[in-house]
Structure 1
């Protein structure tokens, strides 16, 4: 399909690729990975012809149709509706539609046979190209990427950059090319849209090459991994997780070969040193020296996975209740975000706040952070809580005339310069990079500096909004390690599911203008949500029968089954009453713990904490029983 042979591409004196080889076969789903700066985006530009190789070849069939999503498309502007822009993908169908419309107008006054034949030919071709369904297809893909029906009629120019990028992605998908080249396709998508894209790409019949830092997304879609490293392209016959295992095995073998070779070299060097001074052995020593010089050396394994070597420092511990939300209502014109919502963030909670864009995730974070006070109800910060808030707008708080290291030293004096350099290195600022002025940095670089600052704050409560934007996989892993060893409390909004699954012990989502909580990891939440979706579908109202058909008579349920269902539903109702009562009791205890006076009475605090924990454990047990009963009912009803 595409053959890359002995590709060399030089930027100045640096060879980004050095005689690299790679063959892309039809139907392959490939993840192109590597550290920032290893040339992944450059390679895609070489394939589409935007750049020319220094030497070597990239060959493909002349009629190969390539769909290329790149970040440059953010600058695309149009005052046409997004539906119109997406449908520009159907170039021939649109041309035929215009020609058919013109012919139909002419036929109103000219009934010549020639015109009728032309019209028939055009309509036949239009139908063969499925022209009558192109608008339906465009609506379907735009809906999958998160656009409402009303959105499709809005001008592209009225949308933000991220949403415009979604339109460009829709247009490329509608072209149904032979191969898709996607550069960070999940950057501007929310979780439901990412999940929709996963399903679409798995079913896509052509080949796909994806550059992405979202390893969960890659694992779901790809069946090949190609690593760009040290000017070469190395193919691994599996998804990203397979790549990690296989690479580890290859490195283990390489490390063993390196150690064996080093031992052999030392042994030879000792023999040469021992015999070179003796005339009778000098010839043998010279022969061994030549052999040693000609030996093809095995490289030692480079450590591409840096680890966190700094510790979080905060000067005081928070009370049990970090944030208490009561009767919280928040809305914008024509959009209600929260209505009488309630929630509690407790000390030690590691919360992932997830959901579709537009549901109010970032708004809720701003309320919790105290950056948004235009709401009704309460969002109170607890005793001894010190918080820091990271969001993209925090870039405005950076001091543009400071050097990067200087910015962190001024902000986090409790950390040593070595620790701060280590943190900056984790976020891709190495060597003399730390002396760059902040004003000369790109938006992505400024974002990484702001995130590094957030992680060095003297705060026992972190509030992080999309912290993985502009990070590569190595930096995401650093962030995961940092948050795993953080002893305080945090709440994170992110669409990086690998990050969420490795750091969160609670999942929050906004539903029906309420804050809902799932007590578990992201993986567990996904499994629960899938069961819940099936259950909801199971009790949905069936569609009405067609007019020409009579509805089939409902079958009579088996008496034993009906009795069992009745009993289970009664038990479920009793459990719901118990859960409701217990939740009220827990709120009363929480109100006691929220009173600062209790912290002056150690005995009373200890007793109240014991009661609180016992009630929480009891609630968890009741909720587990409720889920088990609900599953039994669902199985019987199915």
Structure 2
């Protein structure tokens, strides 16, 4: 058992000048490290530098002896601890790339060890990081030597890498946090690093979130956007403790709780007050001579309930649920009766109802139909606190954010305005940066030419030296680092003579007497670019399965060309990939017998190349997994693509590339999507699923959006 009082007595007697902040740090290391320090040298590595700062002329040997005494107090069973343990470094630094650039970029290298900040304001991060790194390394070693996960082949499944973060903390902020005097709702996370395994995602980055503003976080797939949200929500990147944070990531657990009660129970203050009100009311009813203090407390509870407008909470919860597609009957339905997609909507509803100081949303539009997306855009435009949202929906990013945070090149750049403004500003900024770089290069070349010409001319010696010094003082500008353009390529197909695909008077029902689709009459050719839209549950996926022959119509006829070959991308395909193999192995399993180069070439045509193709699928981002699913789908060279929500998890650049690839493809395409930009980019025909029917509408997407907005307004007005 850890004897902290004895440890405190020893520390205070040996280091009388130690302040509260440093003592609390040492105490935390001792408490959390009791089972992990194998010898006194490890304890010295964790707290030795802190103790040196407050020591009165104590030598290293004396402080090591004190560490040994502390460890004996903590772990009396270990009297003779050796000092020869191997040291494990665990920090998010890419040493290979640092070493490669060391000679030329010494002054530019920034890492978790070289923090360019005011030293007087900073608690030495090395002190705060060493113990954490050591504990984590030991826990990982234990995990590796303990339980091993075995895959279906009998071999150990690959160990998944985890994200890590390190962060500089100013002494002033630490003191304010300890005293509880920091009441600001603005969030400032400075000089932090985030890594995933040995890959650095962010280095010496800064992020500032002003209270009440709405931030859109954008960047390429796999660059670390979702990881950053998780680092903030898990506390690995520290923010003031009084700020409430809610990250919508997990779906609501299914149980017997009605949907609306699941939302209402998020308000714990209201829930506790109502519970206490019921208790006091019961006590007063059961005892006519009850203590007068109970009546006083009950009056106080009523006042608090009135103050927080508790009576309006059910109506507010109902409005949020209705906006996200829950009709009155669904709001009373137990959560266990909803599918995963609807439970994610419930999680979003709970977050919107809770109104945390910082709301983190990751691709909130993925689970929503067009009506719910329009409602959410409107609702978030008046969001009262701080919002940080990752989204690849261009229209959503143009409508909701007040600011854009662009994550690239291991840093974060902030831009005022929506995505459209960001795109214009970024383009202009890059153009100006390139102009400045090119102008400086020309100037350098001109000066260098003068130096080379007159280097050995005695009469020009002073001018040459002056020019050399001028060159040395010039700031080192860099050319624009252009992001690699995303290119997707669907396979070429042979033309087919019409008719290609036709549905005549098709009806379908899973249960007799409950039709899903009735009297559907539609056709498609290899030139078709059709988008199917409609509310969730309206039958869009069912229609796709009938088109592909996966479901047989209850009545009516489906005609297809004998050589028609479908390529189907399901919105669930990404979740069904084998996560324990590489992308190359995944395609090889589905299409065996081909050279490895062919699999890699296929993956490369969808942007999965190089080492990325050899990583386990589990280690890829959602967008990268989608590209792997596209590559596997196209190995069979289909001549008609059926794509069900293909933009989920794709970044904006990849969605743009997908649109271009569809337009260049010489086969037919039927697409289910709620991404407005993609629909406008590729679709020539719009099919609307509603109330059991499927109709092609004139006027395209503009007409459909007008219809949806009217339906939404009518439903919320009821």
Residue 327 (1) aligns with residue 505 (2): yes
Q: 1:191 aligns with which of 366, 370, 381?
A: 370
Q: 2:282 aligns with which of 102, 105, 108?
A: 105
Match of 2:224 in 1: 39
Alpha-carbon distance in 2 for matches of 1:77, 1:158: 7
Q: 1:81 aligns with which of 253, 258, 278?
A: 258
Residue 306 (1) aligns with residue 485 (2): yes
Residue by residue, what CA displacement relative to the aligned partner does 1:590-614 show, whole Å, maximum 9, x if unpaired?
A: xxxxxxxxxxxxxxxxxxxxxxxxx
Match of 1:590 in 2: none
Residue by residue, what CA displacement relative to the aligned partner does 1:264-320 show, whole Å, maximum 9, x if unpaired?
A: 222233333333354555665455344434432222222236153756411x21234
Residue 344 (1) aligns with residue 523 (2): yes
Residue by residue, what CA displacement relative to the aligned partner does 1:391-441 show, whole Å, maximum 9, x if unpaired?
A: 14556997889853476689899x999997677457552321223466886
Contact conserved, 1:307 with 1:481, CA < 8 A, in 2? no
Contact conserved, 1:461 with 1:488, CA < 8 A, in 2? yes
Match of 2:271 in 1: 94
Match of 2:383 in 1: 204
1:531-550 to 2 correspondence within 5 Å?
A: none
Relative to structure 1, is the Cα distance of residues 300 and 78 closer, same or farther in structure 2, using a 3 angstrom cutoff? farther
Residue 138 (1) aligns with residue 317 (2): yes
Relative to structure 1, is the Cα distance of residues 474 and 147 closer, same or farther in structure 2, using a 3 angstrom cutoff? same
Alpha-carbon distance in 2 for matches of 1:456, 1:471: 20
Superposed displacement of residue 10, structure 1: 4.2
Alpha-carbon distance in 2 for matches of 1:450, 1:124: 57
Alpha-carbon distance in 1 for matches of 2:582, 2:300: 68
Relative to structure 1, is the Cα distance of residues 48 and 14 closer, same or farther in structure 2, using a 3 angstrom cutoff? same
Superposed displacement of residue 448, structure 1: 2.7
RMSD: 3.6
Contact conserved, 2:229 with 2:247, CA < 8 A, in 1? no
Q: 1:318 aligns with which of 484, 496, 503?
A: 496
Contact conserved, 2:406 with 2:413, CA < 8 A, in 1? yes
Relative to structure 1, is the Cα distance of residues 427 and 117 closer, same or farther in structure 2, using a 3 angstrom cutoff? farther
Superposed displacement of residue 171, structure 1: 1.0
1:15-414 to 2 correspondence within 5 Å?
A: 15-48=200-233, 50-52=235-237, 58=239, 63-66=242-245, 68-71=246-249, 73-74=250-251, 76=253, 78-111=255-288, 112=290, 113-278=292-457, 281=460, 284-285=463-464, 287-304=466-483, 306-308=485-487, 310=489, 312-314=491-493, 316-333=494-511, 335-373=514-552, 375-382=554-561, 384-392=563-571, 394=573, 404-405=583-584
Contact conserved, 1:317 with 1:385, CA < 8 A, in 2? no
Alpha-carbon distance in 2 for matches of 1:523, 1:302: 38
Match of 2:193 in 1: 9
Match of 2:159 in 1: none
Contact conserved, 1:428 with 1:475, CA < 8 A, in 2? no
Alpha-carbon distance in 1 for matches of 2:459, 2:488: 55
Alpha-carbon distance in 1 for matches of 2:210, 2:435: 34
Contact conserved, 2:248 with 2:347, CA < 8 A, in 1? no
Alpha-carbon distance in 1 for matches of 2:209, 2:648: 29
Alpha-carbon distance in 2 for matches of 1:297, 1:27: 38
Contact conserved, 2:567 with 2:633, CA < 8 A, in 1? yes
Contact conserved, 2:488 with 2:607, CA < 8 A, in 1? no
Match of 1:495 in 2: 674
Alpha-carbon distance in 1 for matches of 2:310, 2:418: 37
Superposed displacement of residue 130, structure 1: 1.8
Superposed displacement of residue 244, structure 1: 0.9
Match of 1:482 in 2: 661
1:481-630 to 2 correspondence within 5 Å?
A: 481-527=660-706
Contact conserved, 1:341 with 1:515, CA < 8 A, in 2? yes
Relative to structure 1, is the Cα distance of residues 426 and 201 closer, same or farther in structure 2, using a 3 angstrom cutoff? farther
Relative to structure 1, is the Cα distance of residues 46 and 443 closer, same or farther in structure 2, using a 3 angstrom cutoff? closer
Aligned residues: 528
Alpha-carbon distance in 2 for matches of 1:291, 1:264: 11
Alpha-carbon distance in 2 for matches of 1:52, 1:153: 39
* SS of equivalent to 2:345: helix
With normalisation by structure 2, the TM-score equals: 0.66
* SS of equivalent to 1:122: helix
Relative to structure 1, is the Cα distance of residues 273 and 523 closer, same or farther in structure 2, using a 3 angstrom cutoff? farther
Alpha-carbon distance in 2 for matches of 1:419, 1:497: 35
Residue by residue, what CA displacement relative to the aligned partner does 1:214-254 show, whole Å, maximum 9, x if unpaired?
A: 12111121221121222332222211111111111111111
Relative to structure 1, is the Cα distance of residues 430 and 91 closer, same or farther in structure 2, using a 3 angstrom cutoff? same
Alpha-carbon distance in 2 for matches of 1:533, 1:400: 41
With normalisation by structure 1, the TM-score equals: 0.74
Contact conserved, 2:194 with 2:201, CA < 8 A, in 1? yes
- Is the deviation greater in 369-378 or in 15-24? 15-24
Contact conserved, 1:350 with 1:504, CA < 8 A, in 2? yes
Relative to structure 1, is the Cα distance of residues 288 and 410 closer, same or farther in structure 2, using a 3 angstrom cutoff? farther
Relative to structure 1, is the Cα distance of residues 419 and 520 closer, same or farther in structure 2, using a 3 angstrom cutoff? farther
Match of 1:602 in 2: none
Alpha-carbon distance in 2 for matches of 1:182, 1:310: 31
Contact conserved, 2:430 with 2:480, CA < 8 A, in 1? yes
Relative to structure 1, is the Cα distance of residues 157 and 397 closer, same or farther in structure 2, using a 3 angstrom cutoff? closer
Superposed displacement of residue 4, structure 1: 2.0
